[in-house]
Amino acid sequence: MGDLRLGRLTFPAGRFAVMAIVNRTPDSFYDQGATFAFDRAWRRVEQVVAEGADIVDVGGVKAGAGEPVSEDEEIDRVAGLVGAIRETYPQVVVSVDTYRARTADALCEAGADLVNDTWAGADPDVATVAARHGAGLVCSHTGGLRPRSLPHRVRYDDVVADVVAHTVAQAERAAALGVPRESILIDPTHDFGKNTFHSLELTRRLDALVATGWPVLVSLSRKDFVGETLDLPVDERLAGTLAATAVSAWHGARVFRAHDVAATRQVLDMVASIRGDRPPSAPLRGLT
Share of the chain above pLDDT 90, in %: 91
pLDDT (tens digit per residue) in 29-69: 777 778 889 999 999 999 999 999 999 999 999 988 788 99
Is residue 257 annotated as part of the catalytic site, yes or no? yes
Task: Read off the pLDDT of each residue in 80-88 and give the average, rounded to a whole number.
Answer: 97
Task: Read off the pLDDT of each residue in 13-41 and give the average, rounded to a whole number.
Answer: 89
> From CA 162, how far away is CA 141, in angstroms rounded?
9
User: pLDDT at position 183, please?
Assistant: 98
Tell which residue, 256, 233, 254, has the closest CA to residue 243: 256
Q: Which residue in the list 44, 194, 223, 237 is annotated as catalytic? A: 223
User: pLDDT at position 176, please?
Assistant: 98
> From CA 187, how far away is CA 277, in angstroms rounded?
23
Tell me: pLDDT of 282 over 80. Answer: yes
pLDDT (tens digit per residue) in 165-187: 999 999 999 999 999 999 999 99
Which run of H or of E encompasses 18?
strand 17-23
Q: Which residue in the list 100, 222, 237, 257 is annotated as catalytic? A: 257
List the domains of the chain with CATH numbers.
4-275 (3.20.20.20)
Is residue 223 annotated as part of the catalytic site, yes or no? yes
User: pLDDT at position 66, please?
Assistant: 82
User: pLDDT at position 149, please?
Assistant: 86
pLDDT band at 150 (very low <50, low <70, confident <90, very high): confident
DSSP code of residue 236: G
Alpha helices in the chain (DSSP H): 38-50, 71-88, 101-110, 125-133, 159-177, 196-204, 207-210, 224-230, 238-251, 261-275
Q: Taking the model in full, what pTM does it have?
A: 0.95
Tell me: pLDDT of 6 over 80. Answer: yes
